[in-house]
Chain A
Amino acid sequence: MLIEAEALEHRYSPRTEIVISQFSHRFAPGTLTGVTGSSGSGKSTLLYVLALLLTPSGGTIRWDGVDVSSLRDAQRSRLRAMHVGFVFQDAVLDLSQTVEANVLEAAWLAGIPANEARSQARALMTRFGVAGRAHVLPGEVSGGQAQRIALCRALVKGPSIIFADEPTGNLDDESAGIVWSALAEAADEGATVIVATHDTERAHHLPHVLRLPQ
């Protein structure tokens, strides 16, 4: 899905300083874009604004040419449920539910039929090597496994947009490599992948890098 930002601005409240200023960019389908910048440059904020979790203070966001920046909460939530996969820095798994239930959460929020979702979830868990942990609680898995479970959750509904906020910040090289490969594969399959990262070495090898000014 084509995401376009035009003259985007954001500040968290009228009394705080502006975080994103006059940002314009096109994120094309089938591309993986790394968003880099120093701490406080607004990488995460940009992701959340583009993902419609924050309403921009100014400017326009278009998804496939449709202005989505001023939609009501219910409409924005529905778009996120149907089209967006999210990978957070620390997986943010539901510690009270099993690994499989965590993966399925994104699918049932999107309204995908249970059988279809379960089949897709099992395929993804097998692909990322966590199928054997499907019925344990997240407290029993390692950090690397948790992030792979989060990847399964992001991919289970076959999203056309994937946002990842520092997805490898807490991982060892091997686990980080798995995550980056999965994100690249998703882009190859046509998804628009936007990753906020501090990892300048990895970002250096990405086809599209967007460096935000301080």
Chain B
Amino acid sequence: MIGRPRITDLVFDALSRLRRPIVPTAVAVLVLFAGTTAVFGTTGIALASQQRTLVRLNSPQGRLITITDAQGTAGLSAESVAAVSGLSGVEWAAGIGPATDAGNVNLPSAVTVPARFFYGDLPPVIRASTDAGRGQALTGPGLATTLRLGDGVGAISSRIQSAVVVGSFVADDPLTALNHNVLVRGTTDEGRLLTLWVSAQNIAGLPALRDAVSATVIADQPASLRIDTADELASLSEGVITDMARAAQLTISGLLVAVTILVSAVQFGRVAGMARDIGRRRALGASQSLIVTQVLAHAGLCGLLGTTLGVATGLALSAVIAHSLPPASFCTGVAVLMMLAALAGALPPAIRAARLDPVRILRVP
């Protein structure tokens, strides 16, 4: 005999008191379940949507910096491709010159298609059937047929250049506009660019890279260049995230306060209903701290059940409504906060239970 309960006995007692009486347990579990689900139903889904938006923003389109010599007066040098490729945070860089009409050398009167000089290595968004060397050309989808090139290869000529067609390519987003062109690998780096594309390794580095690219490009009149990026979208997204974080804080705080109050009310009711049991336990040797522990254990177990069910339901809701799941840190954070709310709510009734006067409870008038 050690004069105090063993841990295993305490656990068994707490578990047995979940079932009887069932009503306060069910209500406490329901409160925690509803609170957790509500957090997921509001903030969790918003967070999942935000995550999906960030993934979209981090797409090749979102990470692209486009420098355009729109008026053709800036004198953007093809050497810029090599210059910006060496910048930190660049995934790839490529440039194209202005378009000229090109046709099949062997069929001078046949249809012509736009041909452009292409500078830099082919980026990952352009899939080529073969590698084209300097002066060699690749046709966009279907253009070999348009040019009536047997087996997709042959020779083309334009006003300024003749080139051997060695294969074809397919450009994906964001360079799909190139699919209507024949791309001729630039023979030197001394040509002029109409457009220079620079892809950042991630969207977070986009604003800094934009500044670096702007300072690095080689042009006669850099001021005439137009630089387009998705960083405005990124900053808009950042603003949305900030607003959302504030709203989430308010929502979660409100729900935590509500859960704490409701759990407190449930536990006060439970303690009042168990007054004789508490008085008897005190007489049989339960200390005040043991009574506090037992009330908190019940609240903790209810919290565990309610929060687990709530997180599971919340994740399912997020998957169905937002087609995305909130981050694991959010799920853990919500579960921990709800558990703390359950324990905090149970603390005042637990102290009240410990202070019940067993003599007044047990005496029969």
A interface residues with partner B (beta carbon < 8 Å): 44-45, 48, 51, 53-54, 73-74, 77-82, 84, 86, 88-90, 92, 94, 96-97, 101, 105-106, 108-114, 153, 157, 165-166, 169
Q: How far is the CA of A48 from the CA of B361 in the complex (A)?
A: 12
Question: Is there a chain A Cβ closer than 8 Å to B284's Cβ?
Answer: yes
What are 13 A-to-B residue pairs whose CB atoms are below 8 Å?
Answer: A74-B289, A77-B285, A81-B3, A86-B283, A88-B362, A90-B364, A94-B277, A96-B20, A110-B2, A110-B285, A111-B3, A111-B4, A165-B362
Q: How far is the CA of A86 from the CA of B362 in the complex (A)?
A: 11
Minimum Cβ distance to chain B for residue A9 (Å): 16
Q: How far is the CA of A5 from the CA of B9 in the complex (A)?
A: 35
Instruction: Collect the chain A residues with CB atoms within 8 Å of residue B9's CB.
Output: 108, 111, 114
Question: Is there a chain A Cβ closer than 8 Å to B13's Cβ?
Answer: yes
Q: How far is the CA of A157 from the CA of B285 in the complex (A)?
A: 12
Give the contacting residue for A105; candidates B1, B4, B281; CB below 8 A: B281
Q: How far is the CA of A106 from the CA of B3 in the complex (A)?
A: 10
Minimum Cβ distance to chain B for residue A25 (Å): 20
Instruction: Collect the chain A residues with CB atoms within 8 Å of residue B246's CB.
Output: none
Give the contacting residue for A78; candidates B3, B281, B363, B364; CB below 8 A: B3
Q: Which residue of A lies closest to B362 (CB)?
A: A88
Asked, given contacts A44-B363, A53-B359, A96-B20, whether A77 binds B2 with beta carbons under 8 Å apart, the answer is no
Minimum Cβ distance to chain A for residue B359 (Å): 5
Q: How far is the CA of A166 from the CA of B283 in the complex (A)?
A: 15
A-B contact count (CB 8 A): 94
Contact A77 B282 (CB under 8 A): yes
CB within 8 Å of A: which of B244-303?
276-277, 279-290
Asked, given contacts A78-B287, A97-B20, A106-B285, whether A92 binds B3 with beta carbons under 8 Å apart, the answer is no
Q: How far is the CA of A113 from the CA of B280 in the complex (A)?
A: 21
Q: Which residue of A lies closest to B277 (CB)?
A: A94
| Interface flags, B338-363, vs A, CB<8A=1, else 0 | 00000000000000000000110011
Instruction: Collect the chain A residues with CB atoms within 8 Å of residue B358's CB.
Output: 53
Q: How far is the CA of A152 from the CA of B73 in the complex (A)?
A: 104
Question: Is there a chain A Cβ closer than 8 Å to B129's Cβ?
Answer: no
Contact B364 A77 (CB under 8 A): no
Q: How far is the CA of A39 from the CA of B228 in the complex (A)?
A: 96
Contact B20 A109 (CB under 8 A): no
Asked, given contacts A74-B287, A81-B285, whether A108 binds B276 with beta carbons under 8 Å apart, the answer is no
Minimum Cβ distance to chain B for residue A141 (Å): 17
Contact B5 A111 (CB under 8 A): yes
Minimum Cβ distance to chain B for residue A75 (Å): 9
Contact B280 A88 (CB under 8 A): yes
Contact A108 B289 (CB under 8 A): no
Instruction: Collect the chain A residues with CB atoms within 8 Å of residue B288's CB.
Output: 73-74, 77
Q: Which residue of A lies closest to B279 (CB)?
A: A92
Q: How far is the CA of A31 from the CA of B284 in the complex (A)?
A: 21
Q: How far is the CA of A113 from the CA of B281 in the complex (A)?
A: 18
Instruction: Collect the chain B residues with CB atoms within 8 Å of residue A88's CB.
Output: 280, 283, 362, 364
Instruction: Collect the chain A residues with CB atoms within 8 Å of residue B281's CB.
Output: 105, 109
Minimum Cβ distance to chain B for residue A120 (Å): 11
Question: Is there a chain A Cβ closer than 8 Å to B6's Cβ?
Answer: yes
| Interface flags, B154-175, vs A, CB<8A=1, else 0 | 0000000000000000000000
Instruction: Collect the chain A residues with CB atoms within 8 Å of residue B363's CB.
Output: 44, 165
Minimum Cβ distance to chain A for residue B355 (Å): 10
Question: Is there a chain A Cβ closer than 8 Å to B56's Cβ?
Answer: no
Question: Is there a chain A Cβ closer than 8 Å to B21's Cβ?
Answer: yes
Minimum Cβ distance to chain A for residue B284 (Å): 5
Instruction: List 16 other contacts, CB 8 Å, given A77-B282, A96-B277, A109-B4.
Output: A44-B359, A44-B363, A73-B287, A73-B288, A74-B288, A82-B1, A88-B362, A92-B279, A96-B17, A109-B281, A110-B285, A111-B3, A111-B4, A111-B5, A111-B6, A111-B9
Question: Is there a chain A Cβ closer than 8 Å to B16's Cβ?
Answer: yes
Q: How far is the CA of A166 from the CA of B21 in the complex (A)?
A: 29
Contact B282 A53 (CB under 8 A): yes
Give the contacting residue for A109; candidates B8, B286, B359; CB below 8 A: B286
Q: How far is the CA of A47 from the CA of B198 in the complex (A)?
A: 90
Contact B5 A108 (CB under 8 A): yes
Minimum Cβ distance to chain A for residue B81 (Å): 79
Q: How far is the CA of A35 from the CA of B230 in the complex (A)?
A: 91
Instruction: Collect the chain A residues with CB atoms within 8 Å of residue B276's CB.
Output: 92
Q: How far is the CA of A29 from the CA of B283 in the complex (A)?
A: 21
Instruction: Collect the chain A residues with CB atoms within 8 Å of residue B5's CB.
Output: 108-109, 111
Contact B285 A53 (CB under 8 A): no
Minimum Cβ distance to chain A for residue B100 (Å): 91
Contact A80 B362 (CB under 8 A): no
Contact A48 B359 (CB under 8 A): yes
Minimum Cβ distance to chain A for residue B349 (Å): 18
Contact A92 B362 (CB under 8 A): yes
Q: How far is the CA of A176 from the CA of B284 in the complex (A)?
A: 22
| Interface flags, B1-38, vs A, CB<8A=1, else 0 | 11111101100010011001100000000000000000
Instruction: Collect the chain B residues with CB atoms within 8 Å of residue A114's CB.
Output: 8-9
